[in-house]
Amino acid sequence: MTPAGMNRWILSILGLAALTQPVTPQTAAHSKRIVIAASSALDGKGRVLRNTRIVIEGTKIVALDPKAGPADYDLRGLTVLPGWIDAHVHITWIFGKDGKNVGGGETTQDAAYRTASNAWLTLMGGFTTVQSVGSPSDIFLRDVIAQGLLAGPRILTSMEGLSGPGEQTGTPDEIRAYVRKQKAAGADLIKIMASGGMLQGSKTLSQEQLNAACDEAKKQGLRTLVHACRDAVPAATLAGCTQIEHGLGATDQDLKLMAEKGTYFDPQAGLTLETYTLNKGRYAGSPYFPKTEEAIVSTNEKILPLNHELMRHASKIKGLKIVFGSDAVAGAHGRNAEEFIDRVRDCGVDPMTALVSANSLGAEALDMADQIGSIAAGMQADIIALDGNPLKDITAVRRVVFVMKGGVVFKNVARGAIPALTGFPSGPAGA
């Protein structure tokens, strides 16, 4: 992206920020004590809290006190839980003016507005923190949201990814320099492409290259997220990388190695492939995708059962830390929670385990367990509520009726009246 392109992108985002100012009353909200009444709350760590009240001051939860009052928000009858964490999204991936996929490289004013919409829809879907990987544009979106100028989830970004193949990626010393450059540019983590596609291809980086990337990242205080399938999975694990994405072709031995080393694992159950199929006409012929709709559907039909099988196997490996990452692309933003349904319905994952993967375990993977991912005193006031009980009916994750991020309420709608996509409200949140 050129400096001129970056400036245009920022100005476009800030122009849209004027529309969202009413829903981010940061100063007013942070000076007020807020009490939320909950009859059933999931604490994010696997426990159910009954008949409690959550006391918030500023951006943080200060107490759980059943006697606190009066209640500013009565969420009794709903399921209250911490805001979700999606460890793998592509939040700047959009469909362009012609309706076709353009990925995340656009820097036009139109792209800026569409990206801002992605951020809003993701927040409205209950995701208060996301990790967006693979686009330099992420950093500007991250910063304007953090400054309270735009409504969206808290964003961590890798900016550009380290990709091969082979020697073209660089020597170990050159890779170390690349990692340092990414940190200087503002990256929160390092994304590494260590293998090819889902169905074929061996690792694209040598063990020495992976060792250099992950070791240098640790020295710089950064985590590493690695796209890895087949033989790249054990290689990335042995290199001490933080988190492995996708993992198709990983053996039970590879999964046990990850558990032994404490490596976080982020396989996907179905949302992304379902999105490609639902939007096959928009993806066909776009960069990195087959030219025909039929080819997209055929490829997805081959990969989806492999995803399900891997998730089933992985969920049975003792001690394996499986986090929630939807790999949300254009057409999936705001629908990230469908990945919960795929995991529970199609892969037999326990509902509480699936939810914890996007709460305390996800926070741990992001090295933010002391800030987000659970409902407890001292934590950020990221709180959502569902119309229904996801432990009994996982489709309740589709019915997000309340969203608070950092003590600010962005969504508070009538029960039983959840639109498929919630647009910008006409006034202050909670009005």
Element (H, E) at 230: none
Task: Report the distance separating Cα 328 and Cα 311, nearest Å.
Answer: 18
Band (pLDDT 50/70/90 cuts) for residue 292 is very high
Q: pLDDT at residue 84 above 70?
A: yes
Q: Tokens representing 15?
A: 């122009």
Q: Are strands 408-412 and 400-405 parallel, antiparallel or unpaired?
A: antiparallel
231-283, pLDDT tens digit by residue? Answer: 999 999 999 999 999 999 999 999 999 999 999 999 999 999 999 999 999 99
* DSSP 8-class letter at 334: T
Relative orientation angle of helices 3-20 and 109-124, to the nearest 10 degrees: 50
Domain boundaries, the chain: 20-83+372-412, 84-365
Q: Is 188 helix (H, G, I), strand (E, B) or coil?
A: coil
Task: Report the distance separating Cα 235 and Cα 326, nearest Å.
Answer: 23
Whether domain 20-83+372-412 has CATH 1.10.1660.10: no
**With left for phi above 0 and alpha for psi between -120 and 50, is residue 230 left, alpha or beta?**
left
Q: Is 35 helix (H, G, I), strand (E, B) or coil?
A: strand
389-431, pLDDT tens digit by residue? Answer: 999 999 999 999 999 999 999 999 966 554 443 333 333 233 2
* DSSP 8-class letter at 92: T
**pLDDT at position 4:** 47
Domain 84-365 architecture: Alpha-Beta Barrel (3.20)
Neighbours of 119 (CB within 10 A): 28
Residue closest to 72 by CA, chosen among 43, 29, 42: 29
Q: Are strands 60-64 and 48-57 parallel, antiparallel or unpaired?
A: antiparallel
153-167, pLDDT tens digit by residue? Answer: 999 999 888 986 666
Do the domains 20-83+372-412 and 84-365 sit in the same CATH topology, yes or no? no
Residue partners of 161: CB distance under 8 A and separation at least 6: 133, 134, 191, 192, 193, 227
Task: Report the distance separating Cα 397 and Cα 84, nearest Å.
Answer: 10
pTM of structure? 0.90
Neighbours of 172 (CB within 10 A): 17
